[in-house]
Amino acid sequence: MPSSFPSGASSTPALSRPSGSLFIRLCAMMLLEFIVFGSWFATLGLVLATNGLDMIIGTAYSFAALGAIFSPMLLGAIADRYISSQKVLAGVHMVGGILLLLLPGLVAAQAGGAVLGLILVYMLFFMPTLGLTNTIAFRHLGGNDKLFPYVRVFGTIGWIVAGLGVGWAGLSASTGVFVVAAVASFALGIYAFTLPKTPPTGGGRFSFGDLVGAKSWVLFRQRNFVIFGICALLTTICLATYNAYAAPFLGALGIENVAGVLAIGQISEVIFIVTIPFVLVRLGMKWALLGGMVMWGVRFVLFMLAAGDMPWLAIVGIALHGICNDFFLILGAMYVDQVAPVALKAQAQSYFLFVSTGLGAFLGSLVAGQVYNAVVAPSVASGESDLGAWSALWLLPIGASAVTAVLWIVFFRMSEHRATEAAVLADVAAQRDIAAERTS
């Protein structure tokens, strides 16, 4: 990794290198986490469309994003201060499994309002677990951040297993995906109780500022972190559009076994994720992240071309998922872990999720849903299935990707990190002194 990228030594407690058994346990955690997520989220749009609820696809994904907006900060603060992260992870997944079992009946009854409400409640519980698994992994890797991609790759494998399993069972468009996810959620809930102890590190009294992650806002003293946040927001608009409408688009192209085809994207993740340490050494964090962000725009250009009698280009676009996701979400999590002080790591990871799977996903799903309902849905309802109508939808993420590239290239400077990191740590120390005086 380039020397301009700050080491974790200043903000990560000195822990020993993880044993082989511990490494395997962390990998199993990631595997189960993404089996839960991948079982239903990838083809939710297709499930809703198949059951006569296609008009709420965009809203459903925007409601899912609301869960990432409102809950990760709260549970991140709790994990930082009061309850061990592995116990929070266990409890949340047990509740989540129960909620997932209620969805098949509501979807089959075409109870759109109830479906949306339950998805919102479920995601309020689930979304924080993405940050919690990152926190647990980073804590027990003992500062060996370069090992994180090899742990995280098992999340991708979990998504592949879920996608191939759902596709093989013929459940891509079935409400049975929720049952599969529920079983996996219960399994992870039980397994999480066996994970190594990850006690809270923040200390002090809880306040409204903890609820909204205010202490992690000190990171915004870094211009780089501000630019990172803005670019993450724009990139997630692309991600949200893909999550909501890739499956229906593949179905419109006449592609069968949609879940299995979408799993090609996760297979490419496995290929690219192991290249992260080598890419960081040769390109550095700035250019590696740029590649992940810009490739989203390339993907949707291929989708536009696929609508013109070249459906195979859509599969090529799916196969780019390894670069799109690995070099944005995983590198993003590594970047946040590097710049966040140890007492704020859980909240900082939650803040990244707030932007990447919350606010950006909400805006992207909402706007993409409006475009779909206005342009694509009428052709679907009439039975014409005009593939050209999808082009208007793909222009949204293409534009967001172009703006991201300009902002990142012009304003992000890796060389500024060491000075700003020192300022952040000094500010955190000052806040601790003030808090100590108030509680003494």
Tokens of 293: 């962000």
Helix axis angle for 112-140 and 20-40, nearest 10°, is 170
Q: What is the pLDDT of residues 297-336, one digit of tens each?
A: 999 999 999 887 788 899 999 999 888 988 888 888 888 8
Q: What are phi and psi of 372, to 5 degrees?
A: -60, -50
Comparing 327-336, 348-357, 365-374, which segment has the lowest mean pLDDT?
348-357
Return the CA Rg of the chain: 21
Query: What is the per-residue pLDDT for 355?
Result: 77
pLDDT of 439 higher than 50: no
CB-based contact 26:135 (threshold 8 Å): no
Q: What is the pLDDT of residue 316?
A: 94
Using alpha carbons, select from 145, 140, 198 the residue that is nearest to residue 331.
Answer: 145
Which structure tokens are listed for 433?
């002194």
Task: State mean pLDDT over 165-181.
Answer: 90
Q: Provide the mean pLDDT of the chain.
A: 80
Q: Residue 45 has what pLDDT?
A: 87
CA nearest neighbour of 219 among 10, 11, 425: 425
Specify the pTM. 0.69
pLDDT recorded at residue 3: 31
Q: What is the pLDDT confidence band of residue 426, given thresholds at 50, 70 and 90? A: very low
Residue 422 · residue 292 · CB < 8 Å: no
What is the per-residue pLDDT for 419?
42
**pLDDT greater than 60 at residue 210:** no
Q: Which residue has the higher pLDDT, 257 or 29?
A: 29
Higher pLDDT, 79 or 173: 173
